[in-house]
Amino acid sequence: MEESHDIMTLAAQLGRFEDMKTQLPPVNDWHPELSGDMDMLIKKDGTWLHEGDAIKREKLVRTFSTILKKEGKDYYLLTPVEKWRIQVEDLPFLVVLANIRGTGADQAITLMTNVGDEITLGNAHCLQLGKNSQPYVEIRHGLNARLNRNVYYQLAELAQESQNGQFVFHSGGACHQIG
């Protein structure tokens, strides 16, 4: 199968998942053999490229994001019968919006990614610090999202210096370190 055809085959197989808002395909239950490498790249800025061209259909990017799985250091697009390795420059997702409700210890911060995932920072989704103290959060099953600059600054404004000199804020009953 030619690579230019691979993306359309995946899209056709996943058509039934396209309108799912909250329920995700059960990628952790799918274990097909490796089909090969696909010329697909998720850039650091959140752009998805196929054969060097940006995928412009947001619905298609969203659909592909729901079948993304990380195994070790590699990323794959999965269906029940196919498994294609793709490349990711940094992290697969980017947090682009933060909705802050409440204040102080009762605060709840909901984050939205560039592909439409929503999570609330709390015990299940803690802000973590990666290389160069870059904050990120796990969205699902080992798939992480980096904070874009405006969200980082929005959360940094909430932070207060803790007793050990770290800058922290609260969300979802948990304390999160931002730097």
Verify that 70 and 125 share a domain, yes or no.
no
Verify that 28 and 81 share a domain, yes or no.
yes
pLDDT in the model for residue 23: 78
Percentage of the residues of the chain whose pLDDT score is greater than 70: 88
pLDDT in the model for residue 2: 40
Domain count, the chain: 2
Structural domain range at position 84: 3-88
Of 108, 110, 112, 113, residue with least CA distance to 99:
110
Residue ranges, the chain, pLDDT below 70 = 1-22
Verify that 81 and 101 share a domain, yes or no.
no
- The structure's pTM equals 0.84
* Torsion sign (Cα): 140, 96, 65, 110: positive
Q: Which residue do the tokens 């980096």 mark?
A: 146
